[in-house]
Structure 1
Amino acid sequence: MIRILLLGGTGDALRLARSLGPPHVYSLAGLGRVPDDLKCQVRVGGFGGAQGLAAFIAAERIELLVDVTHPYAAQISTNAAIAAEQAGIPCWALRRPVWQAGSGDDWREVDDWDELIAAMSDFRRPFFTLGREPLAHLHETPEHQHWTVRCLDAQPAADRAEIIGDRGPFSLEAERQLFERLDCDVLISKNSGGDSTEPKLQVARERGLPVLLLRRPMLPAVTREFMRRDDLQTALMALGVITGGATA
């Protein structure tokens, strides 16, 4: 059996990690909750860039690197591709497809924070689901706006802002109730793809709200790309790395 290093931090990665045995390593940046019920080894923290990751691969005799990090974690994915090439091992990656706007959706893509601020200037109550990034800009909140920022961990209150510490997946009904309470007039998100965060987009559609989406970064080419977790799971089963279905 080959030994794999699974780069995670997403729900898809955790589901795969639950099917890995003791020889394998599941790596987390450490920003979220660290699972304590896995059979595989769990490593928390960075590697020190591509060179550090390549050194870890060599020292631990890793034979396959599997990148299941967030689609917006471009630096990590770039380091993974470089490190795998330097170490002479294949790199597989899950590249889940982007969400697609439906009939009646008002979706607008932006490239960066400056473009986002300009695009949301006419709104009063934006709801950010970008993670921690807006926290560094709370002092920039215009006087006519009240921001709501949802991220993994609760944060101190701020002027003209509400910080919600919560982690998904979120149910459709819970999202409906939250949008009603917030009275938000625009949703700001990343186009992460997958199905764990789609309810917020459905609620925005129901309420006729515009959605500002931060455009995805370019990700490096790897040895093999998968669009669906089930396909990656099947390929890992074929290698004998996992023997059963990934758990929920």
Structure 2
Amino acid sequence: MSRLLVLGGVGEALAIARHLPPPHVYSLAGLGRVPDDLACQVRVGGFGGAEGLAAFIREQAIDLLLDATHPYAAQISRNAAQAAQVSGIPCWALRRPGWQAVAGDDWREVADWAELVRALAPFQRPFFTLGREPLAHLQDIPASQRWTVRCLESLPGTERAEVIGDRGPFSLDAERALFRRLGSDVLVSKNSGSAATEAKLQVARERGLPVLVLRRPALPAVERVFGSVAEVLTGLRERGFVRLGETLDGLTGQALP
């Protein structure tokens, strides 16, 4: 039987892994929860760049690499494409669609941290939902600002920064209550496209808040690109990586955390 390696870390990847029999491998960086109920093998930890990933592919006789990492994990995606190429195997990618602004949204796209800092200058209480990146800049907060940073881990803040440790899915009511408590005047977000974290955008719309959106990074070309879990599983079934008796019940292709 051919062997698949899934590079995971988001909900869609886990949904795919739940359909995989034992020969296949689900790989995680180890920054979040490690599932203990999968039939396939689970690997935790980095590979050591593209070269280390290529070595793993050769050693484990991997026939297909599926990049199902976060849309902003650009370096991992580049490593995956390069490792697959030098190993002579196909690389597929699951790339969830981004959110789209609708009537009432005030979205302002920024390219990087430096541009984001400039765009934040008029605001006083930004709410960051970028993950850990703002934590490296807590000592650089302007005197006129107080930050709130939400990431997966609960960590100490500073006199002018609150760090909230939490993970989605976030309900609309909970997000409304959080925005009221914080009194934020701007939301800072990646365009992750995840349904689990989309409620914050509706709350920003309701409150008339601008949203500074970090632009998605450019990702490498691969053999096949899919937009949903159902599409990936159909492709894997066609190639014999998922047994024909397995179904796609309940998989509608919506974004997961």
For the aligned pair, the TM-score class normalised by the smaller chain equals over 0.9
Q: Deviations over 1:185-213 (max 9, x none)?
A: 10000011132211111111111110000
- How far apart, CA to CA, are the structure 2 residues paired with 1:220 and 1:30? 24
- How far apart, CA to CA, are the structure 1 residues paired with 2:228 and 2:200? 21
* C-alpha RMSD over aligned residues: 1.3
1:121 — aligned with what? 121
Q: Deviations over 1:35-89 (max 9, x none)?
A: 1111111111111111110110010010010000001100000000011111111
Residue pair 1:138, 1:161 contacting (<8 A) in 2 also = yes
Residue pair 1:15, 1:247 contacting (<8 A) in 2 also = no
Residue pair 1:107, 1:212 contacting (<8 A) in 2 also = yes
- Equivalence map 1:1-248=2 (5 Å): 1-242=1-242, 243-245=246-248
Runs of 4+ in 1 over 2 A off after TM superposition: 237-248
2:254 — aligned with what? none
- After TM superposition, give the deviation of residue 173 of structure 1 in Å: 1.1
- How far apart, CA to CA, are the structure 1 residues paired with 2:157 and 2:184? 18
Q: Deviations over 1:213-246 (max 9, x none)?
A: 0101100000101122221121112223232337
Evaluate the alpha carbon distance shift between residue 59 and residue 193 of structure 1 in structure 2; reply closer, same or farther with a 3 A threshold. Answer: same
- How far apart, CA to CA, are the structure 2 residues paired with 1:153 and 1:140? 21
Residue pair 1:19, 1:246 contacting (<8 A) in 2 also = no
Instruction: Give the 3-state SS of the residue equivalent to 1:196 in structure 2.
Output: helix
- How far apart, CA to CA, are the structure 1 residues paired with 2:240 and 2:81? 23
Q: Deviations over 1:109-156 (max 9, x none)?
A: 001111101101111110000000000000011111110000001101
- How far apart, CA to CA, are the structure 2 residues paired with 1:205 and 1:6? 36
- How far apart, CA to CA, are the structure 2 residues paired with 1:194 and 1:152? 15
Residue pair 2:15, 2:229 contacting (<8 A) in 1 also = no
Residue pair 2:123, 2:145 contacting (<8 A) in 1 also = yes
Q: What letter corresponds to residue 244 of structure 1 in structure 2?
A: T
**What is the aligned-residue identity percentage?**
68
- After TM superposition, give the deviation of residue 23 of structure 1 in Å: 0.7
Residue pair 2:30, 2:44 contacting (<8 A) in 1 also = yes
2:255 — aligned with what? none
| Of 215-224 and 231-240, the range deviating more from structure 2 | 231-240
Q: Deviations over 1:5-50 (max 9, x none)?
A: 0000001111111111111100111111111111111111111111
- How far apart, CA to CA, are the structure 2 residues paired with 1:140 and 1:159? 12
Q: How many residues align?
A: 248
Q: Could you tell me the TM-score, scaled by structure 2's length?
A: 0.93
Structure 1: stretches of 5+ with no match in the other structure: none
Evaluate the alpha carbon distance shift between residue 90 and residue 43 of structure 1 in structure 2; reply closer, same or farther with a 3 A threshold. Answer: same
Structure 2: stretches of 5+ with no match in the other structure: 252-257
- After TM superposition, give the deviation of residue 247 of structure 1 in Å: 7.0
- After TM superposition, give the deviation of residue 95 of structure 1 in Å: 1.5
Q: What letter corresponds to residue 172 of structure 1 in structure 2?
A: L
